[in-house]
Amino acid sequence: MKYFDHAATTLPYEDVTTTVAEIMARHYGNPSSLHKLGEASSKLLSKSREVCAKALDVNPGEIIFTSGATESNNFAIKGAAFQYRSRGQHIITTETEHPSVYECCKQLEQLGWQVTYLPVNTDGLVSVEEVLAAVRKDTFLVSIMHVNNETGSIQPVERIGKRLKEHDPRIIFHVDGVQGFTTLPLSLKESGIDLYSLSAHKLRGPKGIGLLFVREGITLFPLLAGGGQEGGRRSGTENIPLIVGMSKAIRMTTEGRRERETKLSTLKTKLMDGIRAIPELEFNSTETGASHIVNFSFPGMKAEAMLHMIEEAGYIVSTKSACSSKHSEPSRILLAMGKGQEVALSGIRISLGEDHTEKDIEELLAVLDLTVRKLRNIKGREN
Ligand code: PMP
C-alpha cells in the first residue's frame, strides 16, 4: 500500500516512536509531584517547551500544550470570546475553516456572539481588504487558517496580521497553522499573529497532542479547570511522552523544512502535470497552493467510488478531509469556492509526504488514469 493521505495524518518518525515508548516506560512521574520521579518529568516538560518555542521563535512561556489542534482552536476562540466579552462579541473568520474553527464559531453564535464568515474566491482565498472591511467596533477576534486542509490554498495570513494590527492592535489574530507548518516558514512575531495552533500528528509526531502559542499579554479564559497545570491555563496532568515526542517531531520538521518544500514542490508539479493530461479531471487546487496537497474532481462521479478503486490498486488517497469524509455531502470548502454540486461531491485529495519519490508519482498517475478510464466506461454504460 502506498500512502497519499498525509494531510489526514502522518507516520511518526521512528525516533519519535521509540522516544515516546521509552519515556512511557521510564519517566512515568507526574511533573507536578515534588519527588525525584516528578522532578525528572518536570525537566522533560520544560525542555520540550523550550524546543517547541525555539522552533516557533517565541518564548517558552507562550506555549501551551493541548490534546491536539481541535482543542487548540477551541481554546483560542472560546478562550478569547469568554475572556474579552466586554470588549465586543464579533468574530471574523472564513467559510473554509476546519470544522474545529467553523463549528466552534457556530456554537458561539448559539450563545449570542456574532460571526462574519468571509467568502473566498475561486482559488479559496480571502483578501486583506475584505478582512479589514469586515472589522467592526465590536470585533475582538479574527481567525483564519494558514493552509486549507482540503485544497492546500494558502491564505495571506502574514499580510492580514500586519494590516490588522495597523488598523486596530487590540484585535486578536488567531491562525490555525496545522497544514502550513511542514513546508511554510512563518514569523509569528512579525506577522502580528497572537494565537497559533499546531497538531503533532500532522508533522510526524504522535496523535492526541498539540500546542497553542499564546502571545504574552493575551489571556484566554481556561476551558479546562482543575489543578492549574500549564500556568493555570490548561489543567490536567501533562502527557510527558507525547509532549517530548511532539517536540522532537517539531524540531525535525523545522530543520528539514526547506529541503522538504523543494522536494514536494517538484513532486506536486509532476503530479499536477500528469493529472492535467487525464481528460475530464478538474482541479480544485492551484500551482501556488501548499506543496503537499492536490485536490481534483471527476465531475459526475462519486468520490467514494473513485477512492475505493484507487485503493484496490494499492494507493491510499482521500475524499475531502478525514474528519468530514464519512459524510457523503458535497464538500463545504469546494462549494464555498464556487464549485458546482457535482464537483463538490467528487473531490479527491492527494496529499504528499517527504518520503515520496518521482517513481511513486508516476505509479500513482498510471493508477489514476486507469481508474478514470474504468469509471468512464461504467458511466458510459449507465447513460
Ligand atoms: N486544523 C486543521 C487545518 C486540520 O487539518 C486538522 C486535522 N484534520 C485540525 C485542525 C485538527 O487537528 P487534530 O486532529 O489534532 O485535532
CATH number of the CATH domain containing 310: 3.90.1150.10
Catalytic residue among 52, 104, 105, 323: 323
Q: Are residues 242 and 291 in the same domain?
A: no
Question: What is the domain count for the chain?
Answer: 2
Q: Are residues 165 and 297 in the same domain?
A: no
DSSP 263-332: HHHHHHHHHHHHHHTSTT-EESS-TTS-TTEEEEE-TTS-HHHHHHHHHHTTEE-EES-TTTTTS-SPPH
Residue 214: the pLDDT is 98
Of 255, 278, 311, which marks where a domain is finished?
Answer: 255
Q: Are residues 111 and 221 in the same domain?
A: yes
CA 210 to ligand 1 centroid distance, Å: 10
pLDDT in tens, 116-149: 999 999 999 999 999 999 999 999 999 999 999 9
Find residue 351's DSSP bridge partners: 5, 293
Q: Are residues 272 and 237 in the same domain?
A: no
Q: Are residues 165 and 74 in the same domain?
A: yes
Q: Are residues 110 and 132 in the same domain?
A: yes
Rounded mean pLDDT of the chain? Answer: 96
- ipTM of the complex in this document: 0.99
Q: Are residues 267 and 305 in the same domain?
A: yes
In ligand 1, the atom with minimum distance to the C-alpha of 207 is: 15
323 is catalytic: yes
The residue whose CB lies within 8 Å of the most ligand 1 atoms, and thus the one to mutate among 147, 196, 202, is: 202
Q: Are residues 270 and 368 in the same domain?
A: yes
Q: Does 357 score more than 60 pLDDT? A: yes
Q: Does 326 score more than 70 pLDDT? A: no
Mean pLDDT of 311-327: 79
Of 228, 255, 282, which marks where a domain is finished?
Answer: 255
Q: Are residues 246 and 296 in the same domain?
A: no
Q: Are residues 78 and 92 in the same domain?
A: yes
Residue 383: the pLDDT is 62
Share of the chain above pLDDT 90, in %: 92
Q: Are residues 307 and 270 in the same domain?
A: yes
Q: Which position has the higher pLDDT, 145 or 383?
A: 145
pLDDT in tens, 214-253: 999 999 999 999 999 999 999 999 999 999 999 999 999 9
CA 201 to ligand 1 centroid distance, Å: 9
> What does the angle CA 124 – CA 104 – CA 307 come to, to the nearest 5 degrees?
50
Of 193, 228, 255, which marks where a domain is finished?
Answer: 255
CA 327 to ligand 1 centroid distance, Å: 17
CATH number of the CATH domain containing 214: 3.40.640.10
Structural domain containing residue 336 = 2-8+257-382
Q: Does 324 score more than 80 pLDDT? A: no
Pocket of ligand 1 (CB under 6 A): 68-70, 73, 98, 100, 145, 149, 176, 178-179, 199, 210, 321-323
Q: Which position has the higher pLDDT, 382 or 92?
A: 92
- Find out whether 72 and 181 touch, Cβ atoms under 8 Å: no
Residue 333: the pLDDT is 97
Which helix (H) or strand (E) segment is 368 a member of?
A: helix 358-382
Q: Does 325 score more than 70 pLDDT? A: no
Residue 167: the pLDDT is 96
C-alpha pair distances (Å), 204 with each of 9, 16, 177, 207: 8, 8, 15, 9
Residue 29: the pLDDT is 97
Q: What SS3 state is found at 133? A: helix
Q: Are residues 90 and 169 in the same domain?
A: yes
pLDDT in tens, 100-113: 999 999 999 999 99
Mean pLDDT of 181-190: 96
